[in-house]
Amino acid sequence: MSDIFQEVDEDLRRDRAITLWRRYGKYVIGVAVAIVLATAAQVGWKKYRDTQRERDGDAFAAATELVRVGKTDEAVASYEALAASAKSGYGTLARLRAASGLAAAGKRDEAVALYDRLAKDGGVDAHFAQAAAMHAVLLLVDTANVDELRVRLQPLIGGGPMRHLAREIDAALKLREKDIEGARRGLTTLVDDAEAPAGVRGRAAELLAAIGGAKP
């Protein structure tokens, strides 16, 4: 009988943890976007200092203004045009923003396909490629099966700027599968990782508490 109560208790904890994960999802996406923009600043501004870059910057700013005023379809078209013609780092960033625009317009499959092309493009800076791969995972995390998501996560977990976020999502997938112990191990590792961003460590700590904390 005690085993039954223990199983019910674990299910309740898992459900609470998943609820927390969903609540934090928007912040996770915000972190990914911030990483993309930070990378854009580093890569774009350091490598490209010519007139073409200035023109690309103006075009990018114009497309971004279209997003701000709610003209998503026009913005996506502008980003795609810039991606096709740009001779600077703005080309890659425009492809990322075009995919983001497609997602915002409800065209998830098209957005994922564009993110996937970016992630697999050998000519794209590794930071951008990882950001694109992570955005695809975030778009699919609530609908794709666990096996597909794990395949997508493995290259990100292995190393790079998205590794901590990838490990956090992997722990959430373990919760979805009712693998409480696996989730607990993954979350404990994140909490104890001094290199993990504070936001990731904080969410991991709260999820860990929701499933009963770390094992002694």
C-alpha to C-alpha distance for 181 and 177, rounded to whole angstroms: 11
Q: Rounded CA gap, 48 and 44, in Å?
A: 6
Q: What pLDDT, on a 0 to 100 scale, did the predictor assign at position 48?
A: 47
Task: Compute the distance between CA of residue 193 and CA of residue 188 in angstroms, rounded to an integer.
Answer: 9
pLDDT at 45: 45
Amino acid 7: pLDDT: 46
Amino acid letter for position 194: A
Element housing 120 (H / E): none
Domains in the chain (CATH in brackets) are 2-210 (1.25.40.10)
pLDDT tens digits for range 12-51: 556 666 665 555 555 555 555 555 555 554 555 455 455 6
Token couple for 5: 């109560």
What is the percentage of the chain residues whose pLDDT exceeds 90?
Answer: 21
Cβ atoms of 76 and 47 within 8 Å: the answer is no
The b/e string for 46-74 (b: 16+ C-beta within 10 A; e otherwise) is eebeeeebebbbebbeebeebbeeeebee
* pLDDT, averaged in runs of 10, over the chain (216 residues): 42 60 54 53 50 71 76 79 71 82 86 90 85 91 90 91 91 88 92 91 89 69
Q: How many CA atoms lie within 13 A of 71 on its CB side?
A: 11
**Quick one: tokens of 200?**
């990731």
